[in-house]
């Protein structure tokens, strides 16, 4: 079961991300003014809401994948496996919190400015609420903590793979390296991080996520066969 989830997870995440990019210009749309974002969201209709919900569900898959992978790595230190499982579950949880605002909170915010009694003050309040949740749940909780916990889980899982005979040791080494880089990428969203460091982290993030997804799938294929 761990093998199947490790293969399905990156495929489902990539498919949902690609669909959002094609239909909603995600994540570039987040750099636009609030009213433009909400207008695009309204134009997407119920299909975009369902797509946002599906994207959030892909984050949930990491929790059982992390727990089941720990059970598949026979011979690894039990404390290490427990810590890895905890980090994986936390990564899934914070990523879920980041994404679940789209199918539940954002539809309400998108409808509010179009109400017959919508005033300028209400539209301003919508802007404040949207941007606050975007920075708190989207950036701080989902991206910063999400990258950090995902990186920690990958490093711990990589060390456990080296200790176990379930997968080749080189997969463990890849996990350690890509996990460390992913944790570094989380610093992109820390306001006090030196500007050149933020730029480096921002450039590393997309490539790192591609490598991370390929690593997950590779571990799943090895465990499956």
pLDDT given for residue 193 in this prediction: 47
Confidence of residue 206 (pLDDT cuts 50, 70, 90): confident
Largest CA distance in the chain: 65
Can you give the pTM of this predicted structure?
A: 0.92
Query: How high is the mean pLDDT of the chain?
Result: 91
**What's the CA gap between 147 and 182, in Å, rounded?**
6
Is the pLDDT score of 170 beyond 50?
yes
Question: Which single residue is written with the structure tokens 């496996």?
Answer: 81
**What's the CA gap between 146 and 140, in Å, rounded?**
9
pLDDT given for residue 196 in this prediction: 47
Q: Among 28-32, 65-69, 74-78, 173-177, name the one with the lowest average pLDDT.
A: 28-32
Q: How does pLDDT run across 85-130, given as a tens digit for each residue?
A: 999 999 999 999 999 999 999 999 999 887 777 788 888 999 999 9
What is the domain partition of the chain in residue ranges?
A: 2-224
Is the pLDDT score of 146 beyond 90?
yes
Q: What is the mean pLDDT of residues 152-172?
A: 97
User: Are the C-beta atoms of 25 and 41 separated by less than 8 Å?
Assistant: no
Q: How does pLDDT run across 176-205, given as a tens digit for each residue?
A: 999 999 998 888 766 544 444 456 666 788
Instruction: Enter the DSSP assignment of 129.
Output: H
Q: What is the mean pLDDT of residues 137-157?
A: 94
């Amino acid at each position: 079961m761990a093998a199947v989830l490790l293969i399905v997870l990156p495929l489902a995440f990539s498919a949902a991300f690609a669909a959002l990019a094609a239909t909603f210009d995600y994540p570039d749309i987040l750099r636009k003014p609030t009213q433009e974002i909400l207008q695009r969201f309204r134009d997407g209709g119920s299909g975009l809401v369902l797509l946002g919900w599906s994207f959030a569900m892909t984050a949930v898959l990491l929790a059982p994948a992390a727990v089941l992978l720990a059970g598949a790595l026979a011979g690894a230190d039990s404390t290490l496996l427990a810590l890895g499982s905890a980090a994986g579950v936390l990564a899934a949880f914070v990523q879920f919190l980041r994404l679940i605002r789209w199918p539940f909170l954002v539809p309400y915010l998108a409808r509010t400015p179009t109400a017959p009694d919508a005033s300028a003050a209400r539209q301003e309040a919508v802007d404040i609420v949207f941007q606050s949740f975007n920075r708190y749940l989207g950036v701080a909780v989902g991206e910063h903590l999400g990258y950090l916990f995902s990186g920690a889980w990958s490093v711990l899982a990589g060390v456990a793979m080296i200790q176990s005979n379930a997968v080749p040791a080189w997969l463990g080494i890849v996990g350690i390296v890509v996990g460390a880089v992913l944790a570094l990428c989380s610093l992109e969203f820390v306001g006090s991080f030196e500007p050149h460091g933020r730029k480096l982290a921002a450039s590393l993030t997309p490539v790192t996520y591609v490598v991370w997804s390929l690593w997950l799938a590779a571990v799943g294929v090895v465990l499956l066969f």
